[in-house]
Amino acid sequence: MPKISIVVPCYNEQAALPLFYQEITRVAGEMDYAEFEFVFIDDGSKDDTLPMLRRLAVKDKRVRFVSLSRNFGKEAGMLAGLEAATGDFVATMDADLQDPPALLPALYKAVTEEGYDCAATRRTTREGEPPVRSFFAHMFYKLINRISDADIVDGARDYRLMRRAMVDAILSMREYNRFSKGIFGWVGFKTKWVPFVNVERVAGETKWSFWKLFLYSLEGIIAFSTAPLALASVLGVLICLIAFVFVVVVLVKTLALGDPVGGWPSMMCVVLFLGGAQLLCIGISGQYLAKTYLEAKRRPVYLVRETEEGVR
């Protein structure tokens, strides 16, 4: 039988984990035409997530886990899970049941019977989410698709089922600064999008604040586009043109009309404007330089402390 690996990054999910395990094993029982393994990634949890995974691994031989040495972030957790997965098909999903396991049969059918390499999910609504957060999320998807080669669908979740060939392609991308939504789109492959209505967390609290999501969006833009660097260059040229126009205006007013230019207020406006523009351009360049610096170190994306086979 074909083997399906379910990759589940976990960070402080002790409240949701029992409910998720109950639901995913129920769905797996209905899909008796496939073999399953459940690969949980403990991303440095501070609660009882790891002890629960140890107990599940003893109870159910299909359960495997990888416990990271500290919290490396969801991107590192997903990479660790994809590298640990051994299935012919690999699914990634969250443990909070916002990614309904009940969609798995439909995803599997799309990949095995409809000729797709990947079946991915997207939310059709954002019910329960603050309006401001939803607005900026829509704006981010529009922006990233305009300025990059990555095809990222609005409302896309990390919940997807992929063929082994696509998983291997993703694993071949070894960058340290990872943005999975962009990587999924960049590698290509034929993808079917399966819409579903947004589901609230079954238990626990979200780990994604507005600020963290903002930083994550910047990570995606920097990882898959050089447009901000071009923007900085265009801004520099534009400021030079504005400065040239001001020089002409000052000369005309002073020489032709005998009207000297006003002093301190206008000078401060120009100085502050130029200073802010310079800092913006330096900041944009600094972000790219910082990412290049981290890539050049060639540090591992994550470190493993323990698996279901024991402490390393």
Residue 95 in this model has a pLDDT that exceeds 70: yes
Burial class (CB in 10 A: 0-12, 13-18, 19+), 109: middle
Looking up residue 107, the CATH number of its domain turns out to be 3.90.550.10
Residues 129 and 246 in one domain: no
Q: Among candidates 213, 242, 212, 232, which has minimal Cα distance to 282?
A: 232
Q: What is the rounded CA–CA span in Å between residue 124 and residue 255?
A: 64
Which pLDDT score is estimated for 286?
79
Query: Please, are residues 7 and 41 in contact by the beta-carbon 8 Å criterion?
Result: yes
Residues 235 and 259 in one domain: yes
**Residue bearing the bigger pLDDT, 19 or 245:** 19
Q: How far is CA 147 from CA 124, 201, 292, in A?
A: 24, 32, 20
Residues 209 and 233 in one domain: no
Residues 93 and 183 in one domain: yes
Residues 232 and 262 in one domain: yes
Mean pLDDT (whole number) for 170-193: 83
**Range of 32-41, 134-143, 200-209 with top mean pLDDT:** 32-41
Domain that holds residue 231: 227-297
Residues 246 and 190 in one domain: no
Residues 239 and 221 in one domain: no
DSSP type of residue 101: G
Confidence of residue 39 (pLDDT cuts 50, 70, 90): very high
Q: Which residues pair with 41 in a beta bridge?
A: 9, 66
Widest pairwise Cα distance in the chain = 91
Mean pLDDT (whole number) for 35-43: 91
Residues 216 and 100 in one domain: yes
Residues 73 and 136 in one domain: yes
Residue with tokens 């082994």: 164
Residues 218 and 245 in one domain: no
Residues 304 and 155 in one domain: yes
Residue 37 in this model has a pLDDT that exceeds 80: yes
**Range of 115-129, 166-180, 205-219, 221-235 with top mean pLDDT:** 166-180
Cβ count near 33 (within 10 Å) = 10
Percent of all residues in the chain with a pLDDT value above 90, rounded to a whole number = 10
User: Starting from the edge strand earliest in sequence, which strands make up the sheet with 310-311, in order?
Assistant: 191-196, 118-123, 156-163, 89-92, 3-10, 35-42, 63-68, 304-307, 310-311
257-293 pLDDT per residue, tens: 666 656 656 676 677 677 777 777 787 777 788 778 7
Which pLDDT score is estimated for 302?
87
118-142 pLDDT per residue, tens: 888 888 766 656 666 666 666 766 6
Residue 225 in this model has a pLDDT that exceeds 60: yes
Residue 154 in this model has a pLDDT that exceeds 70: no
Q: How many domains does the chain have?
A: 2
What are the E-state strand segments in 48-150?
63-68, 89-92, 118-123
Which pLDDT score is estimated for 190?
87
Confidence of residue 90 (pLDDT cuts 50, 70, 90): very high
**Residue bearing the bigger pLDDT, 209 or 1:** 1
Residues 243 and 203 in one domain: no
Percent of all residues in the chain with a pLDDT value above 70, rounded to a whole number = 74
